[in-house]
Amino acid sequence: MSEEEDDIILSELDDEELVQQMFDDLYDGLKEEIEEGVNILLERGWEPYRVLTEALVGGMTIVGKDFRDGILFVPEVLLAANAMKGGMAILKPLLAETGAPRVGKMVIGTVKGDIHDIGKNLVSMMMEGAGFEVVDLGINNPVESYLEALESEGPDILGMSALLTTTMPYMKVVIDTMVEQGIRDDYIVLVGGAPLNEEFGKAIGADAYCRDAAVAVETAKEFVGRKHNQGVTA
């Protein structure tokens, strides 16, 4: 920045400027500013769902795009997601009250033997940022815990993550078990993790491999949209 700028007073901005400023603040991971922005929009009579989609999801979409393009990296995205969570914490109870539409639901977890949860956490946060409901099973999940969660949560999507050569084959164990139990096609199965690639995802029977959290969100939206369309025509 070439010139010294004064601190921005959010409440003095009009709606459009404020949303643009929130995009910047999400990009910079400024949690308090995001919380303030959310509260101002609510005070101005915005529906909680509109605040979520236009300000937060809109801002996180930009973050996701630059993450996908190798402009932002994990530390920046964690900060942005943290700021978004601050805003979400205010909106969540209000969204529940107002019965806002649901984009979709995902159960996600890192497979057995793998403790890496950085990528998985990013996916969780970006999915929430995109309006999905996410049930995070954490790390080191045996096939049983995935199946239990599918049963009890009834999600649209199952997400699995693995970061090690030694743990990635376990994804196939989970998918094979789902096939055996005849429930494979009830869910969209997305896989991700550093050593994986598209071909691997196909070979083990997943619906798609997602290179990173941003791609996961795009893919999830696409598949859920397709699933809903099928529901209508069927």
Partner 1 sequence: MTNALARMIAAREWILADGATGTNLFNMGLESGEAPEMWNDWHPDRITKLYRMAVDAGSDLFLTNSFGGNAARLKLHGAQKRARELSRIAAELGREVADRTDRDIVVAGSVGPTGEIMAPMGALTHELAVEIFHEQAEGLKEGGADVCWLETISAPEEYKAAAEAFRLAGMPWCGTMSFDTAGRTMMGMTSSDMAHMVETLDHAPLAYGANCGVGASDLLRTVLGFVAQGSERPIVAKGNAGIPKYVDGHIHYDGTPELMAEYACLARDAGATIIGGCCGTMPEHLTKMRAALETRDRGPRPTLEQITQTLGAFSSAVDGTGDDSPQPSRRSRRRR
- Residue 217 is encoded by which pair of tokens? 């969100």
CB of residue 105 vs partner 1: minimum separation in angstroms?
26
The string of DSSP codes covering 29-90 is T-HHHHHHHHHHHHHTT--HHHIIIIIIIHHHHHHHHHHHTTSS-HHHHHHHHHHHHHHHHH
Tell me the three state secondary structure of residue 95. helix
Q: Whole-angstrom Cα distance, residue 164 to residue 144?
A: 20
Residue 204 near partner 1 by CB under 8 A = yes
* 3-state SS assignment for residue 105: strand
Q: Alpha-carbon distance 223 to 191, whole Å?
A: 13
User: Closest CB to partner 1 among 33 and 156?
Assistant: 33
Cβ closer to partner 1: 114 or 156?
114
Q: Which stretch binds partner 1 (CB under 8 A): 27-35, 126-134, 152-160, 180-188?
A: 27-35
Residues between 28 and 47 that touch partner 1 (CB under 8 A): 28, 30, 33
Q: Does 170 bind partner 1 (CB under 8 A)?
A: yes
Span 47-76, contacts to partner 1 by CB under 8 A: 62, 65-66, 69-76
List the alpha helices (DSSP H) in the chain.
Answer: 15-27, 31-43, 48-50, 58-68, 74-98, 118-129, 143-153, 170-180, 198-203, 213-233
Complex with partner 1: residue 100 or 164, whichever CB lies closer: 164
Q: Do the beta carbons of residue 223 and residue 208 sit within 8 Å? A: yes
Footprint (CB under 8 A) of partner 1, residues 87-146: 111-119, 139-140, 142
Nearest approach, Cβ of 4 to partner 1 (angstroms)?
Answer: 8
Residues forming the site for partner 1 (CB under 8 A): 1, 4-5, 7-8, 21, 23-25, 27-28, 30, 33, 62, 65-66, 69-76, 78-79, 111-119, 139-140, 142, 164-170, 172-173, 194-197, 199-200, 203-204, 212
